[in-house]
Amino acid sequence: MTKLIRAQWLGRVPYADAHALQERLMDARIRGEIDDTLLFLEHPPVITLGRAADHGHIVSRRDHLASLGVEIAETGRGGDVTYHAPGQLVAYPIFDLKPDRCDVRRYVRDLANTMIAMLRESGIEAGRIDGDAKYIGVWVDLDSPQKWREIDASEMAATSRRLAKIGAIGVKISRWVTMHGFALNVTTDLSGFNHIVPCGIEKFGVTSMQAVQGGAEKHLSPRDLVPSACTHFAKIFDAEITQSNAP
């Protein structure tokens, strides 16, 4: 039977508020009180640390970050250090993966493939780098953003390709119900990533749809991508998606 997912655009939400909302929805989903839920939003500037984060990957002084209005938040997701800011489409699925999708790697791959399909729709070819958890996310080749050639994590140290991460993924799963999700850089001010070593990767940078397309996407907002996101979530997760008001 086709799954039902309720999608909601929440606007710009402080990280702590969004995290608390996710926890409430996760608990309700575990108890079977709500359907699968898909939250779309933006965050004000915030650096988040996953369970395995190296605090040394925050390279700016904390008092300097505070003066810039950049918060720091500990999270329960996987992964290292990442950065959220306006211009980034954040998707938080609260999905019950039971009975037939209880596979963490498959779930992470499905999130990546959702972003890849969204980017392709906008004329950007992107892909995954498999073989090492630190490369989880979606990547583009800055020298050929209209063509993606597969590359394995074992090749990353020696490659001369100008690869950059355009979409980050970090998840938490409890009793096979998910929270956290992905962040796709649309028009994000990339200078904010200078405060961190994104995901602990020093060799390769971070990019956005706007940067890849030479500013062509400057009038595109994260909210504009929600219909595309819903379309591809529905295909990849074999679901029917309806949009509703915020909880």
For the domain that residue 131 is a member of, what is the CATH number?
Answer: 3.30.930.10
Please state the domain count of the chain. Answer: 1
Q: What per-residue confidence (pLDDT) applies to 244?
A: 76
Q: Give the global pTM.
A: 0.95
Which phi and psi (to 5°) does residue 138 adopt? -125, 135
d(CA 95, CA 78): 17
Express each pLDDT in 30-49 by its tens digit: 999 999 999 999 999 999 99
pLDDT(218) > 70: no
Q: Which residues are catalytically annotated?
A: 199
Alpha helices in the chain (DSSP H): 15-30, 62-67, 104-121, 209-212, 226-236
Pairing of strands 138-141, 163-174: antiparallel
* 7-11, 126-130, 210-214: least confident range: 210-214
Evaluate whether 60 touches 42 at the Cβ level (below 8 Å).
no
Query: In which domain, by residue range, is 171 found?
Result: 3-243
